[in-house]
Amino acid sequence: MKKIKYWVYRTKSYVYEKTIVQAQLIDPDSHSLSSDYSNKGFRSPRQNEPYSFDLKVVYKVRKNWLQPDNYAESYGFNLYSKRLVDLMNEFGVKNETFPAKMVDEDGTGLKGLNYFVFHSLEGVQNAMDEQKSGWTGDWHVGIPTLILDYNQFEHRPIILVDKIYVPLMRDDLKKEIERREITGFGFLSPEDIKAALTVSPLILRIKTT
């Protein structure tokens, strides 16, 4: 049987006239998310469980920017275009979505931009071969390489690797993203990365070897 291939994926950064293209979350602000929304069960943009409330977000962007399907944003949410959300649903990715209002620098709504906060509910999977990956149990140290044990996890379209929280995408979904020319993704082979974790397990530095 042919082995299923997975790829490390990340949100790609773009630069326009020396400015990083990044959607700025202006409502709710970070204080509200860490205080008011935490009382409603919000812990992290990447938490395993549903948010349990109706998240309403407003992002500020420049209307003359390139608008990628996977839009880099300022807080840590996944900001996806409608066609990218539709593709994730076609592949059966467990998720919840929340419409995002996109405004320009003057606060004027940009009706042509149809984006959503995409919250994956796939959860984490025990996908790493800890011995072959050189995992010591210390996420401050990270791993010298990522070797997967394909026999010990369910081959979902996207997964989050337990302990090191590296996001992976199955090859058939990656190929469909490329075929449809969906923008905003960068991909690396798991075996070709070094992952060093800082501050918290959800902040990941990835370097090519």
Greater confidence (195 vs 19) lies with 19
Q: Given this model, what pLDDT does residue 116 score?
A: 98
The arrangement of strands across the sheet holding 57-60 comes to 24-27, 57-60, 95-103, 115-120, 78-81, 70-71
Q: Assess whether pLDDT exceeds 50 at residue 208.
A: no
Whether the Cβ atoms of residue 178 and residue 171 lie closer than 8 Å to each other:
no
Q: Assess whether pLDDT exceeds 70 at residue 1.
A: no
Q: Given this model, what pLDDT does residue 205 score?
A: 41
Q: Given this model, what pLDDT does residue 39 score?
A: 80
For 182-199, write each residue's pLDDT tens digit.
999 999 999 887 654 433
Residue written as token pair 């149809």:
114
Whether the Cβ atoms of residue 174 and residue 180 lie closer than 8 Å to each other:
no
What is the reported pTM? 0.89
Q: Assess whether pLDDT exceeds 70 at residue 90.
A: yes
DSSP state of 35: T
Whether the Cβ atoms of residue 147 and residue 154 lie closer than 8 Å to each other:
no
For residues 31-47, average pLDDT: 85
Q: Given this model, what pLDDT does residue 194 score?
A: 67
Cα–Cα distance between 170 and 168 in angstroms, integer? 7
